[in-house]
Amino acid sequence: MGEPAASGVQVRLAGAGDAAALTELLHAVDRHYWDSAAPTPAAMAEHVRRRVLSATSCEIALAEIDGQAVGLASFAVLYPAPGPSGQLFMKDLFTLAAARGRGVGHALMSFLARLALERGCGRFDWTAETDNPGALAFYDRLGARRIEEKVYYRFDGEGLKALAAKK
């Protein structure tokens, strides 16, 4: 793992030495999706140090071009899955705007597919927002099958607090 893609994109698993690159990328993710709620760079650096790099339930694939971090995919292997296998579930795929269209997303997805097979996973799943036509078109171009029979649920804010308070 970690070989360069045909586009010159190098993808590998992020490690402790990638704190600065992950801080920059995760801050860019927050600015991209939740601009008004994005934490300061210092707060994001602390979050990466205390939570992200010490997480045992989530990993991050890091994409680089010429040694510069340009994208990431966060994922976990979940159990159970059909048969004696796991399910690789991608939480997020993100590429810096300046690197879009250069094969970064494709390289990250291919890396995760290979990793899923290496780890004995029988499938690779993720979600996409219906109001993100670019992402939907990208996943369709890759040949991914849409799972229409699934419904995505969420607890957040006060609803999350209310459920947590129930015994």
CATH (domain of 65): 3.40.630.30
* 2 assigned to some structural domain: no
* 1 assigned to some structural domain: no
Mean of all residue pLDDT scores within the chain:
87
Count CB atoms within 10 A of the CB of residue 166.
5
* Rounded Cα distance, 154 and 117, in Å: 29
* 3 assigned to some structural domain: no
* 159 assigned to some structural domain: yes
Give how many domains the chain has, as a whole number: 1
Residue-number span of the structural domain to which 50 is assigned: 9-165
* 92 assigned to some structural domain: yes
* 4 assigned to some structural domain: no
Residue 34's pLDDT is 76
* Rounded Cα distance, 123 and 145, in Å: 11
* 103 assigned to some structural domain: yes
Confidence label for 32 from pLDDT (cuts 50, 70 and 90): confident
* 152 assigned to some structural domain: yes
Lowest mean pLDDT among 29-38, 41-50, 88-97, 158-167: 41-50
